[in-house]
């Protein structure tokens, strides 16, 4: 069957940067190891799952450059989950419980107040058949818990090394809800067995889940847990403290895409987050694939700083050839030449900033307050020198003639000449080389801009 990894989002909201990191690390591992990548849609939450979010997930992954070898929907596997639950019941490993959420919350609060770990007390195991019937006669429906073994669980984590879990320190997890639907733990394990998942790469917040899932795997299929390797990467937090949530839309991929972030910049940033080279851009996913290694993932909690992502995005765009960005530009309704891209790419933070320089070169600009403070004699000299500069041999020759003439006419040079000229022609303090911008503006537009100050 070969090796498989999986990315398993739930279609209850938009993917955010935390989800993107999970998808990316699994994808890079798969492509490096020759494994196959499964996109598993965890859509058993029928109330919140929406087809629109399924489509958004696929669009976001495609934008990142992540392709999948197969796609599966958990909603199509409900019968398999039910059969697995029946097998666990027959083994005595799955038992019914009738506590309400309020009763469980009270138990938890009481245990914490006593300084004890909030572990389920297994009171339901002591219920007689008569008590079971009595509870159900009152309208209570059971949820079903998996009885954990108290034995120690060990696994060699690909990122953290040897992990040891004591079964006495965990509550028996709920596997089936009152409505009969499976929870994540049962559905995920059944699917991992069915698809032959060979490596699970996910956040460190799932570490306890792994110990539980190892026991569940062994209960459903002897020695199956030994066929799966595990790797838990540290989570990151937003520098601003903002919560990452699909339902809240925090730092969603859709938002980043709309704000002009290039997918390679985001992939580079997420793959190297927390490392010393996090701000070094990779020009392809293949380069990231070749560099991928669990040993390079920092064990420390990292910060996701949008400003650093913007800086990396700027650095990446300054290196990308026109062919790499033109499709994205055209999708955004931006049509430029190779020459224009080369001229402005070193002065943009996002692809959308290209529009700003289009306006500077071909549109209208606001008058500069700094330029308005200039001696009117300088404006008049600019007009005269532009009139004398011929475009017969091209704009580059025209610019050379103009600057040479203006230097001689005003006695200015260096910053004293070029800074006010930049303010007049572009309305900006900084930007691409003025000579290059002038080649797109042409003499007529340059003269019109100078004349506004007269």
pLDDT tens, position by position, 6-30: 999 999 999 999 999 999 999 999 9
Phi and psi angles of residue 16, each rounded to the nearest 5 degrees, phi first: -115, -175
For residue 279, the model assigns a pLDDT of 66
| pLDDT 10s digits, 352-363 | 899 999 999 999
pLDDT score of 244:
61
The pair of structure tokens assigned to 238 is 């937003």
The structure's pTM equals: 0.88
| Average pLDDT taken over every residue of the chain | 91
Give the H or E element holding residue 220.
helix 207-220
Of the given ranges (160-164, 307-311, 395-399, 440-444), which has the lowest mean pLDDT?
395-399
Predicted confidence (pLDDT) at residue 245 exceeds the cutoff of 60: no
Cα–Cα distance, 260 to 254 (Å, whole number) = 10
Asked if residue 58 has pLDDT above 50, the reply is yes
Quote the crossing angle between the two packed helices 51-64 and 17-33, to the nearest 10°: 60
- Out of 22-26, 80-84, 295-299, which region has the weakest mean confidence (pLDDT)? 295-299
Tell whether the model's pLDDT for residue 390 goes beyond 90. Answer: no
Distance of CA 435 to the CA centre of its chain: 39
**pLDDT band, residue 242 (cuts 50/70/90):** low
Q: Does residue 19 contact residue 246 with C-beta atoms inside 8 Å?
A: yes
pLDDT one-digit tens code per residue, 98-148 = 999 999 999 999 989 998 888 999 999 999 999 999 988 998 999 999 999
Mean pLDDT of 324-342: 92
Domains along the chain with CATH numbers = 239-329 (1.10.1160.10), 364-451 (1.10.10.350)
> What average pLDDT does the segment 34-56 reach?
94
The predicted-structure confidence for 198-210, as pLDDT tens digits, reads as follows 999 999 999 989 9
Strand order in the sheet with 161-166: 161-166, 152-157, 229-233, 199-203
Instruction: State the pLDDT at residue 417.
Output: 95
pLDDT at residue 250, as a whole number: 63
Residue 249 pLDDT > 60, yes or no?
no
Longest dimension (CA), the chain: 107
Cβ atoms 65, 267 nearer than 8 A? yes
pLDDT of 243 > 70? The answer is no
Q: What is the pLDDT of residue 208?
A: 87
Instruction: Convert the pLDDT of each residue in 259-288 to its tens digit.
Output: 889 999 999 999 988 776 666 788 899 999
Model confidence at 248, pLDDT cuts 50, 70, 90, reads very low
pLDDT confidence band for 246 (50 / 70 / 90)? low
In whole angstroms, how large is the CA radius of gyration of the chain?
31
CB 347 within 8 A of CB 431: yes
* Residue 241 pLDDT exceeds 80: no
């Amino acid at each position: 069957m070969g090796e498989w990894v999986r990315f398993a989002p739930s279609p209850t909201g938009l993917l955010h940067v935390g989800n993107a990191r999970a998808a990316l690390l699994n994808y890079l591992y798969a492509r490096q190891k020759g494994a196959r990548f499964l996109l598993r849609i965890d859509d058993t939450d029928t109330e919140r799952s929406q087809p629109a979010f399924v489509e958004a997930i696929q669009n976001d992954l495609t934008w990142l450059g992540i392709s999948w070898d197969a796609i599966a929907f958990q909603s199509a596997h409900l019968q398999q989950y039910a059969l697995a639950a029946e097998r666990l019941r027959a083994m005595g490993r799955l038992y019914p419980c009738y506590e309400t959420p309020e009763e469980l919350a009270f138990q938890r609060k009481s245990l914490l107040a006593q300084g004890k770990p909030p572990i389920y007390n297994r009171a339901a195991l002591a219920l007689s058949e008569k008590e079971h019937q009595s509870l159900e006669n009152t309208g209570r429906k059971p949820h079903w818990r998996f009885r954990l073994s108290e034995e120690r669980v060990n696994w060699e984590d690909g990122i953290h090394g040897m992990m040891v879990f004591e079964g006495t320190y965990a509550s028996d997890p709920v596997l089936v809800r009152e409505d009969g639907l499976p929870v994540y733990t049962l559905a995920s394990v059944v699917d991992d067995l069915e698809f032959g998942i060979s490596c699970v790469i996910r956040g460190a917040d799932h570490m306890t889940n792994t110990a539980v899932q190892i026991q569940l795997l062994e209960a459903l299929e002897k020695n199956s847990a030994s066929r799966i390797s595990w790797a838990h990467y540290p989570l990151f937090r937003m520098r601003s403290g903002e919560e990452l949530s699909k339902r809240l839309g925090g730092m969603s991929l859709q938002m980043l895409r709309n704000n002009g972030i290039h997918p390679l910049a985001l992939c580079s940033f997420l793959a190297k987050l927390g490392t010393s080279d996090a701000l070094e851009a990779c020009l392809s996913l293949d380069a990231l694939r070749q560099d991928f290694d669990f040993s390079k993932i920092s064990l420390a909690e990292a910060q996701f700083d949008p400003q650093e992502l913007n800086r990396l995005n700027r650095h990446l765009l300054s290196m990308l050839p026109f062919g790499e960005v033109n499709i994205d530009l055209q999708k955004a309704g931006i049509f430029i030449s190779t020459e224009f891209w080369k001229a402005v790419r070193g002065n943009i933070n996002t692809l959308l900033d290209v529009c700003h320089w289009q306006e500077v070169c071909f549109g209208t600009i606001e008058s500069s307050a700094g330029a308005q403070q200039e001696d009117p004699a300088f404006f008049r000299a600019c007009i005269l020198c532009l009139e004398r500069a011929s475009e017969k041999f091209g704009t580059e020759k025209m610019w050379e003639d103009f600057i040479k003439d203006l230097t001689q006419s005003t006695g200015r040079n260096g910053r004293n000449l070029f800074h006010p000229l930049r303010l007049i022609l572009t309305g900006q303090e900084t930007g691409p080389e003025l000579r290059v911008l002038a080649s797109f503006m042409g003499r007529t537009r340059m003269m019109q801009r100078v004349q506004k100050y007269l």
